[in-house]
């Protein structure tokens, strides 16, 4: 297994709420990442992020590992929640916040 996959697994183990995105929450570098950040921030909990533009190997390997071709990717408790459309839809219908609050509540 590649070191990149090990890194991804470590990131997922160490962060209950993790967004793989282009840019950072304060300065998203694509519209989809910006929408995902906005939806996540509306839940009112802190979350970790990885800027895939700074990590080309993660950008290359994560879609294969996740079996999900696009970014952003939201992971909660090591499970892939989905990309921008799913995150925004879940935020709009009230499904996202309980998942995020629960994950944040159990974070050590």
1: pLDDT strictly greater than 70: no
How is the chain split among helix, strand and coil, in percent rounded to 5?
50, 20, 30
pLDDT band at 2 (very low <50, low <70, confident <90, very high): confident
The CA distances from residue 79 to 26, 49, 69, in Å, are 24, 15, 16
Instruction: Report which secondary-structure segment, H or E, holds 18.
Output: strand 17-21
Annotated binding-site residues for [2Fe-2S] cluster read 30
Annotated binding-site residues for glutathione read 22, 59, 71, 84-85
pLDDT digit string, tens, across residues 53-75: 999 999 999 999 999 999 999 99
Domain ranges of the chain: 3-106
Average pLDDT of the chain is 96
Annotated binding-site residues read 22, 30, 59, 71, 84-85
| Per-residue model confidence (pLDDT) at position 86 | 98
pLDDT band at 108 (very low <50, low <70, confident <90, very high): low
95 alpha-carbon distance from chain centroid: 16
107: pLDDT strictly greater than 80: no
Distance CA 17, CA 21 (A): 13
| Per-residue model confidence (pLDDT) at position 6 | 97
With respect to CATH, is domain 3-106 assigned 3.40.30.10? yes
């Amino acid at each position: 297994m590649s070191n990149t996959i090990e890194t991804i697994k470590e990131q997922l183990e160490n962060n209950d709420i993790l967004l793989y995105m282009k840019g950072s929450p304060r300065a998203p570098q694509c519209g989809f990442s910006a929408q995902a950040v906005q939806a996540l921030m509306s839940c009112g909990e802190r979350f970790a992020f990885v800027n895939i533009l700074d990590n080309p190997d993660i950008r290359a390997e994560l879609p294969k590992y996740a079996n999900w071709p696009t970014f952003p990717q939201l992971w909660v408790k090591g499970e892939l929640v989905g990309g921008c459309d799913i995150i925004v839809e879940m935020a709009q219908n009230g499904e996202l916040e309980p998942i995020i609050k629960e994950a944040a509540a159990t974070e050590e």
